[in-house]
Each structure stands twice: as C-alpha cells, then as structure tokens.
Chains A and B, each alone.
Chain A
C-alpha cells in the first residue's frame, strides 16, 4: 500500500468526524432528553389541540400577527367555540407566562432561534 500512513490518518479523521455526535455526547455528558415544560395556568386547554400546537404554533402566531397588524382582526375562535384575543403577550403568555421555562426550553433544545422578541417586549422575569 502506498502512502499508507496518510490514507489511514485521513480515514481515522473521517470516521471521527462522522461519529462525532457520539464523542460530543460523551464529552458534554448530557443525556439529551427532551426538556420538561412548566405550565403556569388554571386552564387545561390551549387555543388548539396539543399535537397541532406542537408542530404548527409558529404558523398560528404568524397568522395572528398578520390578522391583527394588517386586518385589525383580533378575535380567534378556538377549541369548543371559545373566543380568544389574538395576542402573544396577552393570550399565549397568560398561561405560558414563563418564557425561560416554556418557549426557550424547546427552542434551545432544537436549536431554533425565534424573532418574536425583536419586536415584542420580553416578559419581566427575563429582564
């Protein structure tokens, strides 16, 4: 085999890179479990079903923003005909009041950066 040293060194580097999640996990010592969320609420239902909210809450927020800002439409009919105000700070955050222990947990876990707080004032406990 010609240049065996170089080829094997290259292969080892490649294998370490491909399997790097394993080494990263060992180095940080985290289990990587899904974060636990803290709910501060008396209400047991959200504006939509949990499954939908998990995957599509960003779409709902986007629609709400467009409705309120562009069409002055502030009423949202949620589950069982209950009417909510389309507002992140007043509706969502009245139950999920703790940004640190609700929003950020999953977003940090999945590496998602949101731009909600570019305009909205962050809730008090963060400041």
Chain B
C-alpha cells in the first residue's frame, strides 16, 4: 500500500512535468525557477537540519564496542573497532562512511525445522547499498561536466574508466546501470521480505522511486530520446552564472529528468536522505571509547551543596567538647 502510494506520487510528478513542459510550455519555470528554488531549499534546509542536530547534548560516550577496549598494556586493543583516540575515531568513521562497516555486520535470523532459530551473515544489503551509494556518487560527479568549462581532467578520466567497454553511442556508463540495478534491488528487498515490508514507510519508497525515476529518465535521455547536449550545458552554465537563459529545443525528457532531480534536492533536507550529513554526527561512531581512560563530567550537573566533616566539626566544636565527644582537631 505504501509502495503504491509512493509510486502514485512519482507518477503525479511525471504528469506535472509533462503538463508543465510539453503542454503548457513553461520552460523557464522548469528550467530556471524550480532548479534555483530546489537548490536554495536544499542548502538552507541542510544547514538548518545539521544545526538542529548539533544542538542536541552529547554528554557521555555511547560505546558500541566490537573490539577490545584500550586498557592495560599487555592486553591487545583494537583501535579501529573500539578507538581510544582521534586517529582511531577517524579510522572508524572512514570505514563507516566509505565502506558501511556497520552494515557489514548485518545478520539474518531464520527459523529452521524443529523451530530452531538460526542466525547467519547477510551481506546482500551491504553489497547493494555499497554499489548504490558509490555508483550514485560517481554519477553525480560525472554531471560536473555540465557545470564546469573547461571540463576538469579528473572528470574525463572518470568517464573513460566508467565507459571502459565502449558499448553503444554514446558509450554506456557502467555506474548508470549499476545505480538502476541496485536501487531496484533495494526496492524489491523492501517488498519481498515480509519483515522489511512491515517496517517500510511511504517515505522509504518515495525516495527510492524518485531516485529510480532519475536513473531511468537519465538513461533514456542518454541512450534513447537524445537531446541537444550543448543546449543542456548552456543552460547549466547560465544557471551557475546567475544569468539564466533557456536555449530552444532541448528535448522534453531533459525537463523530466531535471524536475525529478529538483524534487530530490528540495525533498532532501526533510527526509531520511539527510543521513548524508547525519552519518557524521552518529554518536556511537564519532566518539572515542574513553569512558575509563578520561573522566567525563556531566556538563549540566548542578553545584551540589556539601558539608564535610571538617566543616561540621568547625561548626560544633565547642558543643562537642562540652559533651566530651572525640575531636580530630582540638582548636
């Protein structure tokens, strides 16, 4: 049901792009106004969201160790899995962000015959997530060729590797196919596995469908309904220079692609996609396990009123002496 609703939403977005561009001919709305609005929303929304998170207190270290903590010298400690200094934390964060270390630990539970529950490794989610995120990053970076003149050398190098097999004209980029395949896998996983379907929300499906729509429209534009690519770059460059002009005659499929990208950018700060920024703020990953090595004092502890024995004796010394009680200090 959630998946159908999300699909319906994406279909409506397509109809909006179709009506707006093909029927009403609102090229400057879809080519200029919406991209600016979307990127503005994205930047402001992203910063606001990060500041909201940054304001939350982090008084204590949350340690989720999966390695031996640093203690005595003769006990071998694992500084990547249970870091005790900044180097270790940077290592753990790098493993997490670049290679999804936590997801690699993913397990599945299955009920076998005679109702025995068996746990086993499950690397499919990790593999698909890694393929998805990396190919999306490379696809994103490849688009830099439309926003930079002259096109930077590393983009051209990346394209050369990406199109290694030189299939078709224009050359098929591997990452484009991997992106579509992996996002499809991640969607099917949500639908096929009953447990995952149970916890899947509208927002989960919507993000997947929008990304799927972007990938499909992009591939269609590159390989089937080709558009005037020079015109596309002209538009992109004028947008970057804040003197936007929409060139005539860019194909309709381009506006569909652009509209879905705008939707993704605008939706980004309000969605779970914010894990792009959020992963850096994960307290279980970015805080060193120094609970024992260092003393951490709760910063909002109030001043506790104390009355030590010395002060007590000072206050009641005369009375105590009269009563014949023993004193630590005589005067």
Contacts and interface: CB of A to CB of B under 8 A. Distances in A.
Interface residues of A, number: 38
Listed residue (B148, B149, B280) with the most chain A CB atoms within 10 angstroms of its CB = B149
B233 A110 contact: yes
Given A21-B240, A54-B228, A61 B169 contact: yes
A78 to B, nearest CB: 19
A25 B237 contact: yes
Contact of B150 (A3, A28, A61): A28
B135 interface: no
A24 B168 CA distance: 32
Nearest to B147: A21
Interface stretch (A10-18, A80-88, A89-97): A10-18
Nearest to A55: B226
A15 B58 contact: no
Counting contact residues on chain B (CB < 8 A from A), the size range is: 35 or more
A110 B241 contact: no
Contacts of B149: 25, 28, 30, 32, 109
Nearest to B240: A21
Classify the interface of chain A: helix, strand, loop or mixed: helix
B169 A32 contact: no
Interface stretch (B47-55, B119-127, B316-324): B47-55
Contact of A62 (B50, B54, B169, B229): B169
A113 B159 contact: yes
B169 A59 contact: yes
Interface string A1-23: 11110010011001100110110
A14 B279 CA distance: 14
Contact of B170 (A3, A15, A51, A112): A112
B234 A18 contact: no
A4 B57 CA distance: 12
Given A28-B149, A55-B251, 5 more contacts: A25-B240, A54-B228, A110-B145, A110-B230, A110-B233
